[in-house]
Structures are given as C-alpha cells and as structure tokens.
C-alpha cells in the first residue's frame, strides 16, 4: 500500500535531523583535526559508510525507555538508509528527493519538496555529508568544543518550525570516532544513539 503525501510525524522528523549528522561524523577520516573548518573538510571526503546502532528513546508518556537496533548506511551523494531490525523490522530511506518508509506491509513515499520543514532537515543532512558549513549555518547554530580526545558538536536549530520539534542535537566523539548522538526534543522527550562503524562490503 502506498500513501501519497501522508502527514509528517514527529519521529520521522527527528530521525531525519539526526541520521545524516550521525553518518557523516561516523566516517570522518582519522587524521582530521577537530576544529570546525577541518572537520567539515574531512566530511567532504566521505563517499560511503556503514554502521550498527543501538537507539534508546526516553518518552515522557512511557514508564521505561524504548530500545531499537539495526544498521545505518550512506552512499554519496544523497542516499541515506536506516534499517531497524529489533524490536521489529522497519526501513527509512532518503534518496533523490524522496523519503520512503516501510513498516511491515505498509509503504509510504513522501516527496520532500511537499513538506517545507523537511527541506531544512534534508539540507542539514546534505550539508553535513558534503562538509558544507555555509549550508549548515543557514539552519543551525554550530558549537564544537572539547579536545580531539573528547569532543562535542552541538547543533541548535534556527528555523521556528524545526524548533517546534528539536531543541538541540549533541554529538560526542573521540578523535575521528563517533561515540553518541543525542536529540533533545522541545517536548522534553529525547533519544540517544550509540553507533559502531562496520566495514563496508
């Protein structure tokens, strides 16, 4: 079943904001220095990447966190995929200006241009993977702090529509290895994703 232009849900928006940043930073070359300009230069060299993930969501209405796990894949210039294996199979794919969501027998295809707020999310993904600081600064305030051994990149949305959903994104790592990405939502819900890079076959 294919739904044309269904309403955009908060989890999909949050995922879009995070997954491009996650993949881009995960595969930064080991020689990159950790000031913003050199980090972006390193990201511009990314062509593909693959990682496993464990994501924990803290939702105010639930008594305990919700955990999921699976794989993340990226291929230049614009293909991003999140494959969730547990607790149930699900696939989210961004490619050529569309978002495709598969959950069981249900399949949704969204044209990103039909959702103005998603343009900002997808541009942040493209900008991060391309190492495009100018594009990122149109959407986020960026703050890189710490040392090469232990650094944190914080992104705070500028656009009002994004601020209605996401308060900030905090990405932590050591040297060129991404350790975690945390998305704090405006409604106080949050998610923490821990990743481990995998060898691309």
The per-residue pLDDT for range 177-196, each reduced to its tens digit, is 677 888 888 888 999 989 88
Residue 112 per-residue DSSP state: G
* Closest-CA residue to 172 (of 185, 181, 162): 181
Domain ranges, ordered by start, for the chain = 6-140
pLDDT at 37 over 80: yes
Cα separations (Å) of 15 from 9, 34, 81? 10, 25, 11
Helix (H, G, I), strand (E, B) or coil at 100: strand
- Please check the confidence at residue 108 and state whether its pLDDT lies above 80: yes
Say how far apart CA 177 and CA 160 lie, in whole Å: 32
For tokens 């343009």, what's the residue? Answer: 119
Least confidently predicted of 18-32, 38-52, 123-137, 146-160: 18-32
pLDDT cut 90: percent of the chain above it = 21
Asked if omega into 87 is within 30° of 0 (cis), the reply is yes
Instruction: Determine the Cα angle at 201 with ends 126 and 56, to 5°.
Output: 60
* Residue 68 or 32, more confident: 68
- The string of pLDDT tens digits covering residues 47-88 is 777 889 999 999 999 999 999 999 988 887 778 888 999 999
Nearest-angstrom CA–CA distance, 144 and 35: 7
Q: What is the pTM of this model?
A: 0.74
What backbone phi and psi angles, to 5 degrees, belong to 175?
Answer: 55, -125
Bridge partner residues of 8 (DSSP):
none
Question: Both tokens of residue 32?
Answer: 């990159």
């Amino acid at each position: 079943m294919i739904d044309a232009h269904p309403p955009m849900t908060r989890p999909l928006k949050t995922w879009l904001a995070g997954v491009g940043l996650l993949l881009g930073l995960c595969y930064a070359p080991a020689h990159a220095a950790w000031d913003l300009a050199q980090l972006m230069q390193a990201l511009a060299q990314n062509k593909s990447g693959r990682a496993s993930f464990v994501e924990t969501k803290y939702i105010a209405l639930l008594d305990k966190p919700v955990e999921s796990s699976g794989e993340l894949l990226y291929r230049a210039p614009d293909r991003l995929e999140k494959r969730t294996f547990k607790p149930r199979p699900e696939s989210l794919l961004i490619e050529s200006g569309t978002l495709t969501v598969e959950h069981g027998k249900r399949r949704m295809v969204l044209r990103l241009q039909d959702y103005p707020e998603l343009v900002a999310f997808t541009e942040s993904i493209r900008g991060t993977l391309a190492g495009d600081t100018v594009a990122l600064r149109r959407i986020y305030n960026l703050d890189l702090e710490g040392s090469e051994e232990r650094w944190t990149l914080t992104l705070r949305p500028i656009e009002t529509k994004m601020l209605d959903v996401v308060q900030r994104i905090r990405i932590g790592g050591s040297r060129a290895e991404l350790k975690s990405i945390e998305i704090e939502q405006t409604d106080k819900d949050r998610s923490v994703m821990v990743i481990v890079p995998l060898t691309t076959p």
